[in-house]
Chain A
Amino acid sequence: QSALTQPRSVSGSPGQSVTISCTGTSSDVGGYNYVSWYQQHPGKAPKLMIFGVTKRPSGVPDRFSGSRSGNTASLTISGLQTEDEADYYCCSYAGSYTFVFGGGTKLTVL
C-alpha cells in the first residue's frame, strides 16, 4: 500500500492562503468520502483538522477547509497565521478496513 502523494513543502506569508494537495487513487482518495487531515507540530501528536473530505471538527478555525477533485484531496488554509506552521498529513480509507497516510507536507509561514 503506497503512501498518498503530498508536496514535501509549501510556504506562505501571514494572511495569505495555501493549498496542500494529496493524491491517491480510485481505491482510496477517489473511492471513499473518508479523507482526513492532521496537523502536527514538532514533538507533538497529530491533531485532526478535517474529516469526511470537507468537515471541520468543533474548535478548528474555519480558515481550514477541505475539498476533493477526482483522486486528489486538498487542504486549504486561508488567512495564514504563524501558529499554522507545522507538518500536515492526509489520510484516506483504502478499503478492506485499511488506511493509508500521505507523505506529509511541511508548511512554512514566512
Chain B
Amino acid sequence: QVQLVHSGAEVKKPGASVKVSCKASGYTFTTYAMHWVRQAPGQRLEWMGWINTGTGDTKYSQKFQGRVTFTRDTSARTVYMELTSLTSEDTAVYYCVRYETSDTYFDYWGQGTLVTVSS
C-alpha cells in the first residue's frame, strides 16, 4: 500500500534552516509529483509547492519563493523540503502529499513533521 513516511520532529532557533524528508513506498516513485503543504497550530492548510519526482523540476508558492527548496533522491524514493531563515511563524506541521495528475488532487498524505521554531 502507498505510504509516505516523514522524518522526525525538529526544534530550531530563529534564523536557522530545517530539512524535512519524506520516504515513499508502495508505488512507482517517479510516476507521481509530490507537493508540500504546511499547517501552523490551529491554522489552515497552506500550499507550499511541488516537485516533479521524475525530472526534479519544482514550483514554489510565491510566499516561500527564495526561502524553500525541494529536492528528491530517486534511488532512495525520498523527497526533501528545506526551509531557511526560520521565524516563529514557520512553526507548523509540514506534510508531503502525493499528487494525482489526471484529476488534479492530493490522494495520499504523510503523517507530517512538526517543526518548532523557538529561541
Contacts and interface: CB of A to CB of B under 8 A. Distances in A.
Nearest to B59: A97
Contact of A38 (B62, B103, B106): B106
Given A1-B61, A1-B63, A45-B112, A101 B106 contact: no
A64 interface: no
A100 interface: yes
A104 B45 contact: yes
B46 A101 contact: yes
A66 to B, nearest CB: 11
Interface in A73-110: 89, 91, 93, 96-104
Nearest to B49: A98
B44 A100 contact: no
Contacts of A91: 45, 47, 105-106
B107 A48 contact: yes
A98 B47 CA distance: 8
Contact of B47 (A47, A55, A99): A99
Given A34-B104, A93-B104, A99 B109 contact: no
B70 interface: no
A103 B44 contact: yes
Interface string B81-119: 000000000000001000010011111011110000000
Contacts, number: 61
A107 B110 CA distance: 23
Contact of B103 (A46, A52, A89, A98): A52
B105 A51 contact: yes
B110 A45 contact: yes
B72 interface: no
B50 interface: yes
A89 B61 contact: no
B2 to A, nearest CB: 12
B105 A3 contact: no
A52 B104 contact: yes
Interface of A: 1, 3, 32, 34, 36, 38, 40, 45-48, 51-52, 55, 57, 89, 91, 93, 96-104
5 contacts: A46-B45, A48-B106, A51-B103, A93-B104, A103-B44
